[in-house]
Structure 1
């Protein structure tokens, strides 16, 4: 059998290269082969650090009899959801028609034309807890395919139609929320607080609990802190509760994916880049510099790859005493861990998630006056721009070992990377990163619609299968939210009012559902909060970035605090960022310019003259 997965740019696919299953990677060739054989396609979606994906692989995909059934009656495609998020989103939406218990591994049965007609998640090797055995599922699907094709076609058509309707156009006449509406949304999120254990959740002690960093970031927005200190305190308490719990790794730092209990105990032990990048920002805004340094240490020491980019995650499983152990490594103390081989890191450098890390580390480096963190952010940015972008600023979704994936980048990749580069530009004083960010934002907006250059996944597009509009944020900023964030950041730097208009248009288009379900739209609402009040922008012109005036300025909760030397200020202005125009040192001394409510105070040279 041809080993098609050995050279994949996904560690998850490579994990399956030795299965007896005749796997195909995602692409048109697999569907064409299914059409030639007149058999359905079985799409198995997961990711490299997913515990139950590992379990199903061991139980079913490594079993010769199961593999024989698959190869005889199906074309089997293995998909890394982190490499192909649009495919995952489309099929996850289709799976909702068949099961309320969504997650990974995701198992979807599809016609050769690409239309989903049945789906589920994990299937055991034998019937268990109300679930049929995987081989029983395969047999039932084959029987239906052979004997009741009309029913399958009808189901598939209905699902594809439903997916198309879910992607309908948004209300172009909507307006962005006002601060009073956002205050109510923040209060609604705060009302979900678990008053006993922190975070969000109900009284069930066995209910899973996630950090929901996007919602925490919304509650910490400057505008929300000013109108509702109590709502912001909910975020600070959640961070404190998580930091003191088993969700935080006490040895190597960072936070695990989620807890399986209300009190933050019994974690699901994978450690994800996107989660920890956002929680680094949460820790900074909560004033927990100890936690911020802890998370940053994990990013640098564990996830950062030799080429500079950050890997996607660290696995929950590792080998201990010759057996696979879920979480066993993380339950050891430092001395015992040193004797073990650590869980593997998925070295896939995801473009958008690196953008989240670049932004968080840049802010942390500036706020904590730590050049090591700034250098790590810069190193990641250079790696991503070198490998995951071409000369025309077209991005790919990911790379592995500095080899780019063929998977196209998503809108979230463009927005998250652009926002991260803008933060890095501010933290380092180097406008080149902001120029690249501006190009990425411009590439995704033609003034009337949003989209990535070259379009989305070509296989889904050819099949007419639409991924639903992913405006809700969940565990990371959506494409819409991230692009709005980047556009607003560019506006704050003086790139022009068109960028504020773009951010407002994106926020307005999703405002109704965001205000109705604020816990699910935290990143979008954070941008809305920034736009709802007059900005505060501070520029310090100083020859030394560690000058006391610069240090004092960085301690002020402004929307922008940029510290540049005179040459950098001129470079920013030349590159089209008007915030830096006409700003220079007065009398040879470091000088701060504090602009509030769309007006600038007289420049000051004494740190005591800066208003907190």
Structure 2
């Protein structure tokens, strides 16, 4: 059997390289083989730190008898959802037609053209009510394909066509302050008043939702909802979800935040760093930053995707055993592995968080870590034409295409880095990337070649949706003075999904955060000084503002020369602070006591 996974750039795929299943990676070869043999595709989607993915691998994919059934009746594809999010999104959307219990591992059966006719998640090796045995599922699908093929193909085409129709949306007006406040209050109605957070078990941090509730508009117009965000962060920070080394686990299986699912994601922790910063919770913010820099940062400067839930203890695989030990006892244990994939958009989240937190809390090493990550991604995560790709591993770029969210989230990070460092070059690079994201990317070429639509879903998952990511980066560009067309780009994306967002606010926190920010004029603080650690600059860092940047006169002129109007005429040699509202600035001040800290 040809081992096709050992040389891939995905730790998840490499972990399956020794399976008796004749796996293919995602690519045209598997589709061609399925068409040649005229058999269905079995597409198994997961990721390296997914506990139940590990379980199904041990129980079924490592079992020779089960593998023989798969190899006889199917062409099997293994997909890393973190490397191919468009593929995961498309098949997750299709799977929703067959099961409400969505998650990973995702197991999808498709026609040789890749159109889904049955799907599920984890199936055990032996039947456990209400779940059938995986081998029984394989036999039933094979029977359906051989005896009722026309019906299976008809079902597959119907699902594909329904998803294509669902991709359209009808624009509506931008939400006003009252609409955003009402959406926030709707979210607050789901608060668990006893244990904090939202909903029951399992309970997730929902950082995108918390970010909406922390906006100045919500704090002013819906203070009870804003307080729910503070209570959620306080409850999580004091719970088992928060590890002693500062990092947060993926979610809690119990309503009271106990019994965590022990994987630790870059996405969650980067976004929770901003939530903690905006809540004024400095200890939690410092703990998360320490985890990002101390555990997830890889050689070369980029940040790995996640840390596993499992590790080896006393010769056995243990889920969570490492984390249940006191920190002082962990030194003698092999830590859970870090998935070293440097994902473009996820690193953008980390760059944003560390740049903002480092600037606000006076931690220059965090800002430098953000800059190192930015340099790594911009240097390594490119194909032979210079186009950004989705990810890299150990300094080698993946062949997987970048998503629109990848490019937008990286642009957002570079705008934050520009504000934190005073270096206009980061903002120029960000603007170029953002223009690409606004224009739109093509998506996965194999899906397109087979007429399979990308997921129409523009809700937040564990990170902002494509539309929300582009809107947020466009808002940042406009606030720095890149031009009104960027505000319109943000507004256009909010309008496109406004109706869904206000009716389902819990799932659209990132987009509604942008909507809230479009209602209020931004406060922009620019301090021009040769003393970035002086009293005036220090006072500005503690102010409540949407943009805070400390620049030398030469840096201000560089921003102005690059076309960022916020810095226009501010490059004189005198130390001054410019306090602006939507680019209309008050008379500059030099005395820190004259600089208003509140809005």
Q: TM-score range by the shorter chain?
A: over 0.9
Partner of 1:223: 217
Offset at residue 334 of structure 1 (A): 1.6
TM-score (norm 1): 0.96
CA contact (8 A) 2:116 2:156 kept: yes
Matches within 5 A, 1:318-467: 318-389=311-382, 394-446=387-439, 451-452=440-441, 455-467=442-454
Contact 1:2 1:22 in 2 (8 A): yes
1:558 to 516, 537, 545: 545
**In structure 2, distance between residues paired with 1:164 and 1:589:** 58
Structure 2: give runs of 5+ residues left out of the alignment: none
Q: CA deviation at 1:590?
A: 2.0
SS in 2 for 1:394: coil
Measured in 2, the distance between the counterparts of 1:390 and 1:595 equals: 41
Output the CA distance in 2 between the equivalents of 1:525 and 1:608. Answer: 35
Aligned pairs for 1:557-596 (under 5 A) are 557-585=544-572, 589-596=574-581
Q: Secondary structure in 2 aligned to 1:552?
A: helix
- Structure 1 counterpart of 2:188: 190
Task: Report the equivalent of 1:605.
Answer: 590
Secondary structure at the residue paired with 2:160?
helix
Structure 2 counterpart SS, 1:44:
strand
- Which residues in structure 2 correspond to 1:137-286 (within 5 Å)? 137-168=137-168, 170-172=169-171, 174-202=172-200, 207-250=201-244, 252-286=245-279
Q: Please name the residue that 1:28 is paired with.
A: 28
1 CA distance for matches of 2:250 and 2:576?
A: 44
Structure 1 residue aligned with 2:281 = 288
- Does the 8 Å CA contact 1:474/1:521 hold for their aligned counterparts? no
- Say if 2:509 is the partner of 1:522: yes
CA shift, 1:611, in A, is 1.2
CA contact (8 A) 1:273 1:299 kept: yes
Say yes or no: does 1:118 pair with 2:118: yes
CA distance in 1, matches of 2:278, 2:383: 35
Residue pair 1:222, 1:557 contacting (<8 A) in 2 also: no
1:535: how far off?
A: 1.3
Tell me the TM-score normalized by structure 2: 0.98
CA deviations 1:367-386 (Å, max 9, x no partner) are 00111100110000000000
Return the offset for 1:598. 4.6
User: Offset at 1:474?
Assistant: 2.6
Q: List gaps (5 residues or longer) in structure 1.
A: none
* Superposed CA offset, 1:32-63 (max 9, x none): 00111111110000000000000000001111
* Counterpart-to-counterpart distance in 2, 1:400 and 1:491: 34
> In structure 2, what is the equivalent of residue 95 of structure 1?
95
Distance in 2 separating the partners of 1:74 and 1:597: 59
Shift of 1:253: 1.6
Partner Cα distance (2:386, 2:410) in 1:
11
SS at match of 1:77: strand
Size of the alignment, in residue pairs? 597
Checking the alignment, whether the CA contact within 8 Å between 2:163 and 2:456 is kept in structure 1 is no
What CA distance in whole angstroms lies between the structure 1 residues aligned with 2:30 and 2:409?
31
Provide the residue aligned with 1:471 in structure 2. 458
- Deviations 1:359-407 (CA, angstroms, capped at 9, x unpaired): 0000000000111100110000000000113697631111101111111
Q: Where do residues 6-45 of structure 1 align in structure 2 (5 Å cutoff)?
A: 6-45=6-45
CA 559–376 in structure 1, closer or farther in 2 if over 3 Å, else same: same
Provide the aligned C-alpha RMSD in A: 1.2
In structure 2, C-alpha distance between the alignment counterparts of 1:361 and 1:503, rounded to whole Å: 24
Please, which of 498, 511, 514 is the counterpart of residue 498 of structure 2? Answer: 511
- Partner of residue 469 from structure 2, selected from 482, 505, 510: 482
Return the alpha-carbon distance in structure 2 between the equivalents of residues 229 and 518 of structure 1: 17
Q: What SS is found at the alignment partner of 1:444?
A: helix
Which position in structure 2 is the counterpart of 1:131? 131
Give, in angstroms, the shift of residue 589 of structure 1.
4.4
